[in-house]
Structure 1
Amino acid sequence: MTDPEQGPPTSENPPAVDPPTARRSGLRNPERAVRGLGAGTLGLEALVLLLAIQPIRVVGGDLSGAAIGAVVALAVAGFLLAGMMRRPWAWNAGTVLQGLLLLAGLLHWSLFALGVIFALVWAYALHVRRVILG
């Protein structure tokens, strides 16, 4: 309906329209985009952990069998969590994974360095998730 005080709608006087219920992010499917961010982050972390074993052994000194086992276990957990990002608890489990990687730093200093880097990346992913999903 037009407001009698405004007169009929014209190019200078457009009709009153209710504000659209648009998504905050402008994405077609923000939940899917955020899941992809989390899965990509965890998958990249797992891949880096697996690829880091040999350089750490060669350059960083002695990497014990326990440290190698921890790296492989964390990488497998990262790949599994990347595939489970549809589950609501997967984000919390990803946060726990970052803490476990930091704890693996007790086995070798380079694992702590990787833990700090990926904890910061994960914190950014959580921030983006909060901004997009509200």
Structure 2
Amino acid sequence: MNVLTPIVRVPAATHVRATMDGNTACAHVAYRVNEVCAIYPITPSSTMAELADEWAADGLHNIWGGIPVVQEMQSEGGAAGAVHGALQSGALTTTFTSSQGLLLMLPNMFKIAGELTA
């Protein structure tokens, strides 16, 4: 189910509203504002990864006018490593995970935080 629609300019007096679950809402925002999505589908975040992958396959552009690179990795650690590499190259990057997956990403997150510029 493709729920992401192209942004349509509407007069300021009207509002476009959509009802969706939290995973879908998060996927909308993350896809629109990032250049790289490193994914490893893990419940309960699988929906976000699948939507990002579907939108990229459909050629949907983000707000920067490009199509984000969506790369499925072999593990949560691999996804964290891909995020690290993409951030090092200057790309706006995201990943989707669960609480258990976040624990597996901690070593990479500390490495990323330690390399931040002041």
Answer 1 or 2: which has greater strand percent: 2
Answer 1 or 2: which has greater helix percent: 1
Larger radius of gyration: 1
Fold match (TM-score > 0.5): no
Scaled by the length of structure 1, what TM-score is found? 0.28
Scaled by the length of structure 2, what TM-score is found? 0.31
